[in-house]
Structure 1
Amino acid sequence: MTSDSSSDSRRIGFLFNHDELHQVAHIAPIISALQRQAPGARVEVITSSDRQALAVRQFLDSALPAPVFRSIRPNRWSRLAENMLGKMVPLNRLSSLKRSSALFRDFDALVVPETTTTFLRKNSPSERPKLIFFPHGAGDRSIGFSPEIRLFDYVLLPGEKTRDRMLAVGVIRPDNHRIVGYPKFEAFANRRPVKLFDNDRPVVLYNPHFDPLLSSWFRFGESILDYFANQNDYNLIFAPHVMLFQRKILASVEHRLLRFRQRIDSRYDRLDHMHIDTGSARSVDMTYTRAADIYLGDVSSQIYEFIQNPRPAIFLNSHGAEWRGNANYEHWTFGPVLDDIADLGATLDAVSPLSDSCRQAQARAFAYSFDMDRRKSPSQRAAAAIAEFMDIPQ
């Protein structure tokens, strides 16, 4: 048993406590699956904004009773303090967790897509609630295998790669995790491709990360936009990680670095062959990774969503990384890596069609990163794993 409440009335909360919406699709499909898999469980949704609640609802099965929605909005003082600090520190998230700790103790378990929730365990060690983690992405950055993951009671994983690396660094144990696949693929499986341009030129997706050390945006970004603005061979989608333009100051605790957000010149908005999106819903629903012919980026985990259908990719080494043989840059084996964007034009011309070696590298990495089971969906597998861990009848 994992708690003192009766097994047929476990209270399971799905907690969404991030400022933006990019984490929602990673666990929201599991909500209805758990309702079906374990009808005796009390499944509830906890959000910190109306936007989150609306985003979660789009993934719920309308044939099932709607779960209870609860709100844990941050107070105005934490919002003010976070804004004064340029949103550098996630005070809103921490405030919401702190102020709602009594509510959380009434749950048997919380299912979460990010590690900030471990604040509950650090702030007040307790057996309730159990913390169940599903990482929001399947990328290679070292932050995805951070020590905080040790504080979770159970971890759901998209595939063998994440499991192997987490086991290697000791943040999970052989008995406290389950590979279940990638619910985000399931969430957007029926979305039709979107045509963004009125021409047939190849479409390049430039998708820089927000990390102030690893992101190519701070060193190369403006030059890349200028390059595409002044050529007629390619269309460009500029869709960075949603957090790149949501903060005035970008901070990396891991790399101890701060950078100020840069502005985008409005002249790019007037160009028919450039599409600029700094944070709409399309930035997180795979619209752009499916619409592009060529990927241009640095360390974002979206490259793994892009290679679901193998295509040319180019990577930007803007920070002098010694990346060869480094697991944190495994995705840089999917295509050429540029240290200088003076080579961008020639590389774009040479990268298509995709070489056999890059196609094989992408296919191997995709299979290692995502466990694809045709018999059961990721949400069904995750729901079964949660029910089993929480000793809920199925």
Structure 2
Amino acid sequence: MSADSSRDPKRIGFLFNHDELHQVAHIAPIISALQRRAPTERVEIITSSDRQADAVRAFLDPACPLPAFWSISPSGWSRAVEALLGNMVPLNRLSSLKRATPLFRHFDALVVPETTTTFLKKNGQSARPQLIFFPHGAGDRSIGFSPDIKRFDYVLLPGEKTRDRMLAAGVIRSDNHSIVGYPKFEAFGARPPVKLFDNDKPTVLYNPHFDPLLSSWFRFGEQILAYFAQQTDYNLIVAPHVMLFQRKILASVEHRLLRFRKNIDPRYDKLNHIHIDTGSEYSVDMTYTRAADVYLGDVSSQIYEYIQQPRPAIFLNSHDAQWQGNANYDHWNFGPVLDDISGLGTALEAVSPLPASYRKAQSQAFARSFDMDDATPPSERAAHAIAEFLDLP
């Protein structure tokens, strides 16, 4: 298709509107790919913090023109109120969206990695801009198939598993989505594993989620730290979801539950075989999932990034879930599931080397979760899908 010089360039914004950086790598690699795919259009970047802007810049191709950057930082009152409420409600995100709505109306489309942006489609607001969604992760939690997804105009997906569940839930249609792969793998795939400990002992990654119902941290976190502190056979990385330690009170709208989070006893961070990270960039760039020999967790989607290379995994059922046959816990078929910590030592011995049944379950689930195309990177596939949807020359 040749460029139509008679029309104005379309404006496509990549919107990053979250407190933390864990969503950036899911869509940032697409920015330069779209610039190359549609060089006559205006590809721009919208962030709500300087940290986000700096993180996005790291993904940009220096051979492409530098995109325009817009800042939509939240208002002072929303920061104050959110802090007063213990950061339980995402007032900053909503405040940023509301205050920037006039800016957004100048865009033809926004590409986003989270569902808060559907605020722009509620209450009969304008159809402009069109919203394009890429989920930040390929996990199994029910929130990943929320009715809010219906409000998006187009959805980019990592693989057939997410597509099939979204179709079954009625949140996407056969004609408003594309499977494009997983840009985060492209972003960090060439990085070699990092050696974090000065020994050759196997390393366990404990990766609890932040959801106050589903997270194992509130019930088992202290016990897990105490267990690994008193043994000498394993190293331990404690790297929870970055949102767990951003708030003292964790709230779940989905499960209507509040829980207070305790601080970690500083004595554990002084041990040479325990590494604790409550929210650095290494928590979101696959450093720890690549460095670990054993995964210990609950419901985080990082398990799917970990099984890119099948390895031992153990899961903690801290909320008495009836998980067998429940799609929200499909990943609990990748290793033994413990209802308490008493069986942790036995489970660690049982999963190394990885039994064939768990290896098969992990390999099959990974293939369904991520469409891996060696010929075309996910960023280029996503850029092509966006260009086709927006009818870009």
CA distance in 1, matches of 2:357, 2:158: 25
Partner of 1:199: 199
CA distance in 2, matches of 1:353, 1:8: 59
**1:15-30 to 2 correspondences below 5 Å:** 15-30=15-30
Name the SS of the counterpart of 1:310 in structure 2. Answer: coil
**1:152-191 to 2 correspondences below 5 Å:** 152-191=152-191
Provide, for residues 220-257 of structure 1, a one-character-per-residue CA deviation record: whole Å limited to 9, x for no partner. Answer: 00000000011000000000000000012101111100
Partner of 1:208: 208
Once the 2 structures are TM-superposed, how far is the Cα of residue 307 of structure 1 from its aligned partner? 0.1
CA distance in 1, matches of 2:73, 2:327: 38
- Does the CA-based 8 Å contact 1:7-1:392 persist in structure 2? no
Once the 2 structures are TM-superposed, how far is the Cα of residue 41 of structure 1 from its aligned partner? 1.1
Name the SS of the counterpart of 1:28 in structure 2. Answer: helix
**1:230-379 to 2 correspondences below 5 Å:** 230-379=230-379
Provide TM-score, normalisation by structure 2: 0.98
RMSD: 1.0
Letter in 1 for 2:109: A
Once the 2 structures are TM-superposed, how far is the Cα of residue 6 of structure 1 from its aligned partner? 6.9
Once the 2 structures are TM-superposed, how far is the Cα of residue 91 of structure 1 from its aligned partner? 0.2
Structure 2 stretches of 5 or more lacking a match? none
Name the SS of the counterpart of 2:164 in structure 1. Answer: helix
CA distance in 1, matches of 2:176, 2:7: 19
CA distance in 2, matches of 1:356, 1:348: 16
Once the 2 structures are TM-superposed, how far is the Cα of residue 208 of structure 1 from its aligned partner? 0.3
Alignment coverage as a number of residue pairs? 389
Once the 2 structures are TM-superposed, how far is the Cα of residue 124 of structure 1 from its aligned partner? 4.8
Once the 2 structures are TM-superposed, how far is the Cα of residue 123 of structure 1 from its aligned partner? 4.2
Partner of 1:150: 150
Cα distance 1:169–1:7, how it changes in 2: closer, same or farther (>3 A)? farther
Structure 1 stretches of 5 or more lacking a match? none
Once the 2 structures are TM-superposed, how far is the Cα of residue 375 of structure 1 from its aligned partner? 1.1
Partner of 1:117: 117
Once the 2 structures are TM-superposed, how far is the Cα of residue 7 of structure 1 from its aligned partner? 5.9
Aligned-residue sequence identity (percent) comes to 79
Partner of 2:40: 40
Once the 2 structures are TM-superposed, how far is the Cα of residue 351 of structure 1 from its aligned partner? 1.1
Provide, for residues 43-70 of structure 1, a one-character-per-residue CA deviation record: whole Å limited to 9, x for no partner. Answer: 0000000000000000000111110000
Provide TM-score, normalisation by structure 1: 0.98
Worse-superposed segment, 255-264 or 117-126: 117-126
- Does the CA-based 8 Å contact 1:202-1:233 persist in structure 2? yes
- Does the CA-based 8 Å contact 1:8-1:40 persist in structure 2? no
- Does the CA-based 8 Å contact 1:7-1:391 persist in structure 2? no
Provide, for residues 203-226 of structure 1, a one-character-per-residue CA deviation record: whole Å limited to 9, x for no partner. Answer: 000000000000000000000000
Cα distance 1:6–1:171, how it changes in 2: closer, same or farther (>3 A)? farther
Provide, for residues 175-220 of structure 1, a one-character-per-residue CA deviation record: whole Å limited to 9, x for no partner. Answer: 0000000000001012121100000000000000000000000000
